[in-house]
Amino acid sequence: MMLSHRVGRACHVLVLVLCLSAAEDFDWSANNHDSFYYGTFPNGFSWGAGSSAYQTEGAWDKDGKGLSIWDVFTHKKGKTFLNDTGDSSCEGYYKFKDDISLIKEMNLNHYRFSISWPRIMPTGIRSDHVNEKGVKYYSALIDELLEHNITPIVTLYHWDLPQVLQEKYGGWQNISMINYFNDFANLCFERYGDRVKYWITFNNPWSVAVEGYETGEHAPGLKLRGTGAYRAAHHIIKAHAKVWHTYDTQWRNKQRGMVGISLSGDWGEPVDITNQKDIEAAERYVQFYLGWFATPIFHGDYPQVMKDFIGKKSAQQGLGTSRLPTFSSQEKSYIKGTSDFLGVGHFTTRYITQKNYPFNRGSTYFSDRDVAELVDPRWPDPGSEWLYSVPWGFRRLLNFIKTQYGNPMIFITENGVSEKMMCTELCDDWRIQYYKGYINEMLKAIRDGVNVKGYTAWSLLDKFEWDEGYSERFGLYYVDFRSKNKPRYPKASVQFYKRIIKSNGFPNQREVENWKTKATETCSTSNQLLAAEEQRNTAANILRLIHDPLTSHMEMVTEVVVPTVCTLCILISAVFLMFLLRKRN
Ligand code: NOJ
């Protein structure tokens, strides 16, 4: 769970009066939060769902795969909820054909997945070894998608760095990652680029940097406060740019694809829109989040506000230089313009106000920003602690991207909501509500002129949710993790999403209201199926418990008692024989 979200949650809760208005064009000062817009998406808009390798594949040590930092991290005690691991997860490695049928069933246009670097390069280093079995797996997955007319959108790095690179070099703290990552990307272009036309270099580098190297909540679990995240981000941005240039110079002519990055960003809304300090704090929040990566990629350098704040705080600490690394002028022009499209992952919003952090308490990424996060207690909060449903924040973020970065082509790479583990509820009306609201705000953003070309629901399946293990379920499909075969069951949101796709939007009120009723009608049958399956599982588990002492008893009899008795018998007979022979003599 993101620390910033924890901080936000812990902060005093804010009650704000929300009023209604129905503005046609986007207006930053308008409070048009609750209106619903009936209409459809542009022709050719692409609908999809997503997953990532470590979260779904399982098969962590199969067919020559090397270790990733997540394999090692989750095998240490106390790192994840209930010490859950992704060792088998959804068994997606073995069930990809079944999963593609589910995708087909929903009539999706694209599927977003990621390639596990150590599955195809076990040490992360191309010259060491390329694992052809791993290469084949993704090739088969891509072929199967294309055969069903589903466009693959492929992420190269969804957090599973090869462990060897972490151990040998310190992972993203080390500049050498840039070349290793470029070699890996190059191999992917070489082997799959004839069929894959949408590449995402990094997924959510904010999390990699902050949670991997600053708070240590994610693999590799380092707590290099105030420096680790900035350093990791610096190398990631350069690695992204290098891979884009590699594609541009070596592959683009032949393969005619696109390379982008997927950035995540919460929206930050000023607590008081008439207060200049709040307005600046909210802007800072977004710049330290999405802007940290987007500004170098679109404009060549870090946001001015990051340079100012981190520079000022470093000076207060008595440091000679800023903790935020700098780009040389050649690097700036090399990095600028290296995204053919922008991937956006968005889940939630915060209210933001100014808060001064005294520098003597130690410097961190969080204290560098000088902001406090607040939430409205009326915002729905069905699953993950940090995830409040605030659809209007989505439209605002998209408009921010449009104005800040010159209206780039956007693919929504992640958007969705979770539920808690104990909630085996397939009639997920809160998820329907979430998707309905967020997709509608995206439609409004398109009407505002934002260039959104596709939407990816997050996620296709319930899966391993990083440090939260299996306790948070984001899937459109429910996965029964307790069953060996990991069966999938559709939640009601599958039906709802299907209808949005079929109509390419929200045609009219009567129809849309009908969808929700229809979607929740069918789910009760699936709910019964799942309940029956769960009962069977519980019974099987009880039997196993009863059966287990019996089995081990039997094993002891065959493996210890029988051989011992036999040996004793042989010994006794030998002694007896000797005794008889002696007596006869
Ligand atoms: C963003 C991450 O990229 C994804 O892997 C994760 O499942 C979602 N956040 C939800 O936490």
Residue 465 CA, closest ligand 1 atom number: 7
- For Cα atoms 253, 257, 260, give the angle at the middle one, nearest 5 degrees: 125
Atom of ligand 1 nearest to the CA of 204: 3
Q: Which atom of ligand 1 is nearest to the CA of 52?
A: 5
pLDDT band at 422 (very low <50, low <70, confident <90, very high): low
Two tokens, residue 60: 């962590």
Distance 203 CA to ligand 1 centre (A): 9
Residue ranges of the alpha helices (H) in 292-412?
Answer: 292-299, 304-316, 329-335, 365-369, 391-404
Is the minimum distance from the CB of 204 to ligand 1 under 6 angstroms?
A: yes
**Residue 253's domain spans which residues?**
45-265+286-304+325-345+386-527
Mutate to test the pocket of ligand 1, among 414, 438, 464, 479 (most ligand atoms within 8 A of CB): 414
Residue 513 placed within a domain = yes
**485 CA from centroid of ligand 1 (Å):** 24
Return the residue matching tokens 């209409």: 39
More confident call, 165 vs 564: 165
pLDDT at 474: 97
Region of poorest pLDDT, from 100-104, 133-137, 251-255, 529-533: 529-533
- pLDDT of 526 reads 74
What's the pLDDT score for residue 257? Answer: 98
Residue 16: its pLDDT value, please? 31
pLDDT one-digit tens code per residue, 284-298:
999 999 999 999 999
Domain annotation covers residue 541: no
- Residue of higher predicted confidence among 423 and 520: 520
Q: Cα separations (Å) of 97 from 107, 459, 540, 573?
A: 15, 17, 28, 63
Residue where the block lists tokens 């051989």:
563
Residue 268 has pLDDT above 80, yes or no: yes
Q: Catalytic: 414?
A: yes
Residue 453 dihedral angles phi and psi, to the nearest 5°: -105, -20
Instruction: Name which residue sits closest to atom 6 of ligand 1, judged by CA.
Output: 465
Report which ligand 1 atom has the smallest distance to the Cα of 264: 1
Q: Domains in the chain: how many in total?
A: 1
User: How much is the mean pLDDT over the chain?
Assistant: 90
In the β-sheet with 349-354, what is the strand arrangement from edge to edge? 267-270, 349-354, 371-374
What's the pLDDT at 203?
A: 98
Q: How far apart are the CA of 87 and the centre of ligand 1, in A? A: 18
pTM, 2 dp: 0.88
pLDDT in tens, 498-548: 999 999 999 999 999 999 888 888 777 777 778 777 777 766 655 554 554
For residues 484-496, give the mean pLDDT.
95
217 in ligand 1 pocket by Cβ < 6 Å? no
Ligand 1 centroid to 209 CA: how many Å?
A: 14
Mutation choice for ligand 1 from 200, 261, 387, 466, CB with most ligand atoms inside 8 A: 466
Which of these, 313, 315, 304, lies nearest to 280 by C-alpha position?
304
- CA nearest 201: which of 235, 170, 173? 235
Interatomic CA distance for residues 351 and 197, integer angstroms: 38
Judged against a pLDDT cut of 70, whether residue 79 lies above it is answered with yes
Which 3 state secondary structure label does DSSP give 95?
A: helix
Q: What is the pLDDT of residue 576?
A: 72
Cβ of 52 closer than 6 Å to ligand 1, yes or no, is yes
Asked if residue 71 is part of any domain, the answer here is: yes
Does residue 80 carry a pLDDT above 80? yes
Ligand 1 atom showing the smallest separation from residue 468 Cα = 11
What pLDDT, on a 0 to 100 scale, did the predictor assign at position 3? Answer: 39
Exposed e or buried b per residue across 203-237, where buried means at least 16 C-beta atoms within 10 angstroms of its C-beta: bbbbbbbbbbbbbbbbbbbbebbbbbbbbbbbbbb
Ligand 1, residues 68, 113, 204: which to mutate, most atoms within 8 A of Cβ?
204
The protein residue with its alpha carbon nearest to ligand 1, atom 10, reads 465
Q: Pick the residue whose CA is nearest to atom 2 on ligand 1.
A: 204
Nearest Cα to Cα of residue 109 among 433, 506, 498, 515: 498
- Asked if residues 23 and 448 have their Cβ atoms less than 8 Å apart, the reply is no
Q: What is the number of helices (H) and of strands (E) in the chain?
A: 21, 17
Q: Residue 19 — pLDDT band, cuts 50, 70, 90?
A: very low
Which of 458, 463, 472 should be mutated for ligand 1, with most atoms under 8 A from CB?
458
pLDDT band at 464 (very low <50, low <70, confident <90, very high): very high
- Does a structural domain hold residue 434? yes
Question: Is 570 inside any structural domain?
Answer: no
- The per-residue pLDDT for range 406-416, each reduced to its tens digit, is 999 999 999 99
Q: Pick the catalytic residue: 57, 283, 373, 414?
A: 414
**Mean pLDDT to the nearest integer, 270-297:** 97
450 alpha carbon – ligand 1 mean position (Å): 24
- What is the reported pLDDT for 14? 35
* pLDDT at 585 (0 to 100): 61
Is the CB of 155 within 6 Å of ligand 1? no
On whether the CB atoms of residues 530 and 480 are closer than 8 A, the answer is yes
In a domain, 179, yes or no: yes
CATH number of the domain enclosing 70: 3.20.20.80
| Token code pair at residue 471 | 């306790």
436 in any annotated domain: yes
Does residue 84 belong to any structural domain of this protein? Answer: yes
Q: Is the pLDDT of residue 4 over 50?
A: no
Is the pLDDT at 13 greater than 70? The verdict is: no
Q: Which segment of 113-122, 160-169, 386-395, 543-552 scores lowest on mean pLDDT?
A: 543-552
The C-alpha atoms of residue 153 and residue 206 are separated, in whole angstroms, by 20
Which range has the worst mean pLDDT, 305-319, 355-369, 561-575? 561-575
Mean pLDDT of 217-244: 98
pLDDT band at 567 (very low <50, low <70, confident <90, very high): low
Please tell me the predicted confidence (pLDDT) of residue 484: 92
Lowest mean pLDDT among 20-29, 46-55, 187-196, 445-454: 20-29
pLDDT grade for 199, boundaries at 50, 70 and 90: very high
Dist. CA 76 → ligand 1 center (Å): 21
Q: Is 214 in the pocket of ligand 1 (CB under 6 A)?
A: no
